[in-house]
Amino acid sequence: MAFLTAISSNENIVLHKHLNNGFSLPPRTSFSHRLNIICMKTQPTHVAKSSISQSLQAQELVSPKPSNLVFPEFNFYEYMKMKAKMVNKALDEAVPLQTPIKIHEAMRYSLLAGGKRVRPVLCLASCEIVGGEESMAIPMACSVEMINTMTIIHDDLPCMDNDDLRRGKPTNHKVFGEETAILAGDALLSLSFEHVAAKTPRNVSPERVVQAISELGSAVGSQGLVAGQMLDIASEGKQVSLEELEYIHVHKTSKLLEASVVCGAILGGGHVIDVERLRKYARCIGVLFQVVDDILDVTKSSEELGKTAGKDLESDKATYPKLLGLDKAKEFAGELYRFRYLLESYFDASKAAPLCHLANYIAHRQN
């Protein structure tokens, strides 16, 4: 299986050609039932479950089939560059350097440290795939990146993962001190909700703004990201089952990626059926992000990753390579990658191309 294949940034990729050079799609294995469990755990916050069950065939969400759809030519790297530039500008404006200077310096230090802006771009792309305009989701895109940055700042603290390096730079607490780092994360979390509530344009209905905020809050709180982080901490040095590992990954990493996609679709005016299709895609792509992260941690150097390599092994954390072995972890990543077919099957090809390429990027990223 080709895994994490390096792709030239100069390529103007045609999706159907590139997919043949990425993950191979393995025959159905014992992982299939794990995928079913992961997908069916979704609990939409903005619509009654009964209305979804009446509208959707469960099979289409659990076992997506390959399609023969050929996507139009699409320059993914230019798209990512353009969207990241837009998001960076919006983030810079959202957190100006003001009094108290130190706390805003700390917030900006981590928020503007770079990165591919995967979560904000997922938010924008999902807004557009359902027919919305980019401007409808820019505040939410900033908000999910603020929350992601908060998690990074807090995860790196000595009381958590105790890391010294992030995105190739000293971690926040190493530069500003632990007290300021904690407050900077708190301030970003608070600002994220204020920002989406105050800055979402008026052509988005208040009802949809509230739905999106509810979705985002659920993803971050004690039933979402925090829950995953708690079990992750509790699992250090202990034998953890595959089910417990899935719970960690679904909540700690996948939930925020899922919220990025779902919130973008809600704000873009997406029908509930399309929103839930996108939720299933995002859930599996979110788990894929963490599985790849686990694999990179044991196969790449600190210089290649831009953060300390081997931390999971050193702290004896539960990971897919640890529980399944490296080859089986890669195989499971390939199964998760299959869920891009949800986009190919149900959405306009030109609008689906960014999200399909984002799935490919997540699968093949090098850091």
Distance, in Å, from the CA atom of 252 to the CA atom of 231, rounded to the nearest integer, reads: 9
Q: What is the pLDDT of residue 34?
A: 58
Inter-residue contact 145 to 195 (CB < 8 Å): no
Q: How many CA atoms lie within 13 A of 123 on its CB side?
A: 29
pLDDT band for 25, please (50, 70, 90 cuts).
very low
Flag the least confident range among 113-117, 120-124, 301-305.
Answer: 301-305
* pLDDT tens column, 283-300: 888 888 888 888 888 877
Q: Which of 223, 225, 228, 197 is nearest to 211 (CA)?
A: 197
Is 101's pLDDT higher than 50?
Answer: yes
Q: How far is CA 60 from CA 36, 45, 56, 172, 277, in A?
A: 11, 21, 8, 44, 9
For residue 187, count other CB atoms closer than 10 A to its CB: 18
Q: Is the pTM of this model over 0.85?
A: no
- The amino acid present at 21, given as its one-letter code, is N
Please provide the average confidence, as pLDDT, over all residues in the chain.
80
Domain boundaries in the chain?
A: 2-8+30-42+76-364
For residue 156, count other CB atoms closer than 10 A to its CB: 24
Give the highest mean pLDDT range of 11-15, 39-43, 125-129, 345-349.
125-129
SS (H, E, C) the chain: CCCCCCCCCCCCCCHHHHHCCCCCCCCCCCCHHHHHHHHHCCCCCCCCHHHHHHHCCHHHHHCCCCCCCCCCCCCHHHHHHHHHHHHHHHHHHHCCCCCCHHHHHHHHHHHCCCCCCHHHHHHHHHHHHCCCCHHHHHHHHHHHHHHHHHHHHHHCCCCCCCCCEECCEECHHHHHCHHHHHHHHHHHHHHHHHHHHHHCCCCCCHHHHHHHHHHHHHHHCCCCHHHHHHHHHHHCCCCCCHHHHHHHHHHHHHHHHHHHHHHHHHHCCCCHHHHHHHHHHHHHHHHHHHHHHHHHHHHCCHHHHCCCCCHHHHCCCCCHHHHHCHHHHHHHHHHHHHHHHHHHHHCCHHHHHHHHHHHHHHHHCCC
> What number is the average pLDDT over the span 189-202?
98
Is 305's pLDDT higher than 80?
Answer: no
**Phi, psi angle pair for 34, to nearest 5°:** -65, -40
Q: What is the CATH number of domain 2-8+30-42+76-364?
A: 1.10.600.10
Q: pLDDT above 70 covers what percent of the chain?
A: 75
Distance, in Å, from the CA atom of 343 to the CA atom of 105, rounded to the nearest integer, reads: 40
Q: Which two tokens stand for residue 266?
A: 């809600």
Residue pointed to by tokens 């990025």: 260
Q: What is the pLDDT of residue 8?
A: 30
